[in-house]
Chains A and B, each alone.
Chain A
Amino acid sequence: MIEIHEVTKKFQDKKKFVTALKHVSFSVKEGQVVGLLGENGAGKTTLLRTVATLLTPTEGAVTVAGFDTIKNANEVKKRIGVLFGGETGLYDRLTARENLEYFAALYGLSKHETKVRIDDLSRMFGMRDYLNRKVGGFSKGMRQKVAIARTLIHNPEIILFDEPTTGLDITSSNVFRQLVHQLKRDGKTIIFSSHIMEEVSLLCDSVAMMHKGELVYHGNLESLYKSEGSRDLNYIFMSKLVRGNEHYAS
């Protein structure tokens, strides 16, 4: 479903180049839920933005559902839903319904399709009471629900979440986790980045660990537990980082 092949991304910072991704390669199969782990600055967001067509790789290529993210960006965009940072990406002066209608229109949904989709999503997230209220006055949890609904408005096959539960309370985080389970049941392919190991071990089939722009591990969670002789993902992650740092030091 998603093929990331030898992707390198460099940013120019004044006169020097900063390498955010170094020859990253892995693939995600249809219906898989992949957890993207790494410290701040490891390259998780850059990788997700590259998969989402927002960034152009300096080297390498990414294909999503068989479409190249550069040559066929629009085909990729139609099949992908992205939520960066939980509750962001909403217009405060518009109502929740207007926000959803606007993005539905941008994705080319008809009026009928939009109505059906908004009805379904508002039922799914319990948003009916505040659907016609302006987003500016919403709580974090309410905003997060609307933002997720916006991400799913065009019923994408692939969903990317970038640290979706950061800054959210327990209730809102639980809503998100239930949603991922629901999407998994619906056969969606999901990549989400997180710092919360419990969340990753609970929701994901496989993990991709990143360190200083490099992929230090990618594989099935169960295989990882077996090879590391532990089911403590936090411990495994830290030991991988230590090995990664030793590799850099040598």
Chain B
Amino acid sequence: MRIAAGVDVGSTQTKAVILSDDDGMKILARSLVDTGANVQKAAERAFDKCCAEAGMQTADVGYIVGTGYGRYKIAFGNTQVTEISCHAKGAQFLSPAIRTVIDMGGQDSKAISVGPNGEVLDFVMNDKCAAGTGRFLANAAEVMGIGLDEIGPLSLKATRPVKIATVCTVFVESDILSYLAQGKKGEDILGGVHLAIAKRTVSLARRLNIEPEVTMTGGVARNIGMVRALEEVLGRKIEISPDAHFMGALGAALFAINKLDQSFEFGTWKGDHANRGGH
């Protein structure tokens, strides 16, 4: 039985997944922590928590792949893979028919074209503007005085979504405040906000060939309002895995299992293991 882990250090949250290839590929544990200011510590916390969840020692894990924007800060990782490759790999592994991944994270968003073997065919990315990221939604929730978990479900109740002219996170704050002052309903404001961001994200994704099936990954995939808004703008159904939030970490863990295979073949993995020092 080979055990490997993937650690996805995102701008907002750090995720870890432990995989075993015993009796088919199986997820043994998942963990989630806030990234905070110390990226290196966040990676350690996520990994330790995941090991505890799986009921194993850190040393039981044969290979660790880091991904996400903070991947180079992971002191204990064996290697790093970009989050684009990891999301593609993870999504295609869970659902082999997936050809397009829309990843909305805390501070960036991406669309990825995925090949039949989970390889990245093409991708587009927005890390320049907070529109289309979790940061935007967190900001909107704060201005509305509503919990981040509640804005998605509430937006689904919109009957007359308001018009949001710009998608600048800063300017939308004043838009929201003036709509509140006009007495517009919270759900209609949120409906408009989700639709504006969906349009923005779809126009990014349309720079690729959007082939079915389409899935959404990243933390924002937990927001049902965003998923529905994207479906409306795209005009097609979006598959959501319960592990959408962990897709980067899962993909990284799959790469780690592969590495373990290769390492066994080439007889180098013991050296790798020794290099990992404390872990």
Partners in one complex: no
Residues of B in contact with A (beta carbons under 8 Å apart): none
